[in-house]
Amino acid sequence: MKNLVAVEGPDAVKGSGLRDGFGRVRGGGLRAGGLAVACVVLLGAVLLSLVAGNQWFGPHDVFVAAADFTGSDTDRVIRYLRFPRTAVGLLAGAALGLAGAVMQGITRNPLADPGILGVNAGAALAVVAAIGLLGIQSLTGYVWFAMGGALVATVVVYLVGSVGRGGATPVKLALAGAALSALLGSVTSAITLLDLSTLNEFRFWVVGSLTLATSAIVAQALPFIAVGIVLALALGRSLNQLALGEDLAATLGTRIWVVRLLAALAVMLLAGTATAMAGPIAFVGLAVPHVARALVGADYRWILPYSLVLAPTVLLLADVTGRLVARPDELQVGIITALIGAPLFIALVRRRKLAEL
């Protein structure tokens, strides 16, 4: 397969659009139209998340609960359960999608993802330690631990994956991430098994869940994710230049260390806060950037906004699926995303030219 990344950069734009690795020209107008369609689909997923579940509601019920709250059981369910759950799905999905796209761009690794590279495991261990060892219960208290754990895990995986010949190859980074995730997961399990109260709070959160969402969690997480989104979207041009290679990117004026620092900060804010809100949801950050790349080519100035819109769509639809397939109970959203993402991960690993993507 032709290398998609190698055609990126400021000199890749010719005529009506950016040529991808297959020689096709993807015009900006077409991409903008596609993004608008994706936004409409996201709005549909939001509405479905608000009306679907054990209790089905109509769009009119949602409007009444939002604009003319009467205190009825229907209004209470929609306002206090469905609204926060949907908002957390939006924020966590956008954060994970952008974090995955930034990680894939900065490492030039198609397997980069907050779950695969151990970032979620680092954040999860830090949150469990904050809850079980320090007694911290609020998101504003342990979100700092989650971001710190995400940052430490990112650095450790990159350092371990860089050892030896060839540097940080995709396979080495994936193996380092898998090993670190297993290690951190074991420590997390040990802490929860020694503390029953921590285990009770942790057992639904650890699989990735939106069921514990509240309006307070949304308000606390929004500033962190907003800053992370701004940082991530600002990196599009720099990621395009890095795709040409560090030496050429430097000649084009890119400050490599600044880009890496901002990327690490964006991933820390996005993945750390998303994990603190909803638990370590896997594969969203891996799969969605690949879908965006298939739709718009290799230009990160478009991959990032597409990931921002497509990821929460996927997460909300997965959450709705989990509510419906096991009625009157439900499957947590992390289980659904794993069922969807695992086959994609296997397909990516089996690609013959994985390192050239």
**How far from 347 is each of 38, 112, 177, 288, CA to CA, in Å?**
25, 14, 18, 14
Q: Tokens 């396979």 — which residue?
A: 171
Burial 97-124 (b: 16+ CB within 10 A, else e): bbbbbbbbbbbbbbbbbbbbbbbbbbbb
Distance CA 58, CA 52 (A): 9
Mean of pLDDT values over 192-205: 70
Percent of the chain with pLDDT over 90: 24
Residue 15: how many other CB atoms lie within 10 Å: 8
> What string of DSSP letters covers 4-54?
SGGG-SGGGEETTEEE-TTS-EEEHHHHHHHHHHHHHHHHHHHHHHHH-SS
DSSP secondary structure letter of residue 55: S
Paired with 13 in beta bridges are: 18
Q: Are 199 and 117 in contact (CB under 8 A)?
A: no
Residue range 121-173, pLDDT digits in tens = 888 888 888 887 787 777 667 778 888 888 888 888 878 877 777 666 667 77
Residue range 55-84, pLDDT digits in tens = 888 888 888 888 877 778 888 888 889 999
Give the residue extent of every domain in the chain.
5-356
What rounded mean pLDDT belongs to the chain?
81
Question: Cis omega (within 30 of 0) on the bond before 114?
Answer: no
pLDDT: which is higher, 277 or 309: 309
Q: What is the CATH number of domain 5-356?
A: 1.10.3470.10
* Residue 207, token pair as written in the block: 């699989």
- Which of 57, 60, 39 is closest to 49 using CA atoms? 57
Residue 103 has pLDDT above 80, yes or no: yes
pLDDT band at 26 (very low <50, low <70, confident <90, very high): low
